[in-house]
A and B are shown apart, each in its own frame.
Chain A
Amino acid sequence: DQQVKQNSPSLSVQEGRISILNCDYTNSMFDYFLWYKKYPAEGPTFLISISSIKDKNEDGRFTVFLNKSAKHLSLHIVPSQPGDSAVYFCAARPVSGNQFYFGTGTSLTVIP
C-alpha cells in the first residue's frame, strides 16, 4: 500500500513560468518531508525539505508548502528553467520510523 503518492507522472511548463509538483500522503505520523531531483543515469539529489512544524520552506527558486490537514505537499519552482527538467520525487519520514517512503516521481519538462 503506497503511503506517498505523486498522481501526475509528467508535467510540462514554459520556461519562466511556475512549476507546481504535488504529493499526497496517507500516514498522519509522517513528520518530515523531502524533495529530490533525479536526472537520467544519475542518483537522486536532495532539493529541499520541510518539517511538520512548518507550513512553508523556501530556498531560492524552490518553495515547499505543507498542508497537514489535507496531507498534501507541493513544490513550487519559480521561474522554471530548462535545467530543471528532471524527475522529482517526494519522500516522507514517520516520527518513530527509520526509513523514508518515496513517491513514484513526476517528470518535469521545462520548454525553452
Chain B
Amino acid sequence: EADIYQTPRYLVIGTGKKITLECSQTMGHDKMYWYQQDPGMELHLIHYSYGVNSTEKGDLSSESTVSRIRTEHFPLTLESARPSHTSQYLCASSQQGGKYEQYFGPGTRLTVT
C-alpha cells in the first residue's frame, strides 16, 4: 500500500514567517515531487528529486526551496511567507523505471495572512 505523509494538513500563518512543509514516504521511492495547486487549476510542478542530494526546479517559478538528505524525506521551505504563497501543496513519489504513476500525499493547505 502506498504510504506518503504530509504535515501539517492545514496551516494559517502570518506574512514574513518561515515555514517548512514536511513530506515523507515509506515506499523506498527514489523520485519525489512537490506540486502547487490553486482551486480549479492544474497541478504545477515546483520541485522534484531523483534521489538523495538531487533536487531540481520545476516549470513553475517558486520562491521555495527543498532538500533531499534522506530517501524518505523531502521537505519544502518558504523562508518568508507571503499572501501570494497561499495555495495547496501536494507531495508525490514514484518508482524509478517504467512505472510512471505517482503516489500523492493528502496535501497541505497553506494560507498566508
Contact = CB atoms under 8 A, between A and B. Distances in A.
Contact of B104 (A32, A45, A105): A45
Interface string B91-113: 11000000011111111000000
Given A41-B106, A103-B42, A46 B56 contact: no
Contacts of A93: 100
Which residue, B33, B35, B42, B56, has most C-beta atoms of chain A within 10 A? B42
Contact of B45 (A36, A43, A44, A100): A100
* Size class of the A contact interface (CB-based, 8 Å): 20 to 34
Contacts of A101: 42
Interface in B2-40: 4, 6, 33, 35, 40
Interface string B32-54: 01010000111111001010000
A98 B43 CA distance: 15
B42 A34 contact: no
Interface of B: 4, 6, 33, 35, 40-45, 48, 50, 56, 58-59, 90-92, 100-107
Interface of A: 2, 4, 9, 32, 34, 36, 41-46, 49, 89, 91, 93, 98-105
CB-based closest 10 A-B pairs: A43-B104, A46-B101, A102-B43, A102-B42, A99-B45, A104-B42, A44-B104, A43-B106, A43-B105, A43-B107
